[in-house]
Amino acid sequence: MIVVTGDAPDEAALDRSRWRLSAHCVIAAFGTYFCVYALRKPFTAATFEGQEAFGLALKAFYVASQVAGYTISKFIGIGLVSSTPPARRAPTIVALVAIAQASLLLFGLTPAPWNAIWLFVNGLPLGMVFGLILGFLEGRRQSELLTAGLCASFILSTGTVKSVGQSLVVSHGVSEQWMPALVGLVFLGPLLFFVWLLRRIPPPDERDIQARTKR
């Protein structure tokens, strides 16, 4: 004879709740970083054909400028990301995104090749966003699975952002210099929505704290 206790439905309900939370975390983190790529990668959809700066192809000069800012931001982020309390993570992401978008607008306004400075500025805030998003996923029993979901955004986002950028240039006649700012604006609304979803993620529960180190 099988005896059904009152604990089984409760455990089943807890499992369903845990997987719903995991799905929420993955959607929020994946969506946020996917949209962040629209602020980081759109200029790579342009060719800047025949243009040079200081002996380099203009596009190569732009890429080097942004990579320099992105690299420096990683060192800044060591202190900033670790010192940002959970309640301030979402507002900090929004502030960093605002700086990145403003730099793309200034990139459009500033003549080449001097607008490369704004891609350097663009890289500074964006290099810290990943660590802030990861903070919402750490310290949980499913952290490895959630982080894998976040990292999947790397695979899909670059191609999508480039396609949007190329469409604006080829099909809508947007100049290559203004295209990055417009791509950022296209993704800005969805990005803010996904950050709002991040903010709704509850902190790790007692089981998470017992299984992992408290963050």
User: How confident is the model over 20-49, as pLDDT tens digits?
Assistant: 999 999 999 999 999 999 999 999 999 999
Quickly state the pLDDT bin for 15 (edges 50, 70, 90).
low
User: Model pTM?
Assistant: 0.88
Q: What is the reported pLDDT for 2?
A: 39
Q: Residue 109: is its pLDDT beyond 50?
A: yes
| Nearest CA-CA partner of 111 in 162, 55, 167, 53 | 53
Q: Using an 8 Å Cβ cutoff, are 147 and 134 in contact? A: yes
The mean pLDDT of 179-205, rounded to a whole number, is 95
Q: What is the reported pLDDT for 131?
A: 95
State the CB neighbour count (10 A cutoff) for residue 184. Answer: 25
Quickly state the pLDDT bin for 141 (edges 50, 70, 90).
confident
Q: What is the reported pLDDT for 1?
A: 38
Kindly report the average pLDDT of the chain as a whole number: 90
User: How confident is the model over 61-106, as pLDDT tens digits?
Assistant: 999 999 999 999 999 999 999 999 999 999 999 999 999 999 999 9
Q: What is the reported pLDDT for 214?
A: 58
Q: What is the reported pLDDT for 215?
A: 53
Range among 2-16, 21-35, 148-162, 196-210 rated most confident: 21-35
Q: How many residues in total does the chain contain?
A: 215
| Nearest CA-CA partner of 69 in 30, 18, 34, 107 | 107
CA distance 30 to 32: 6
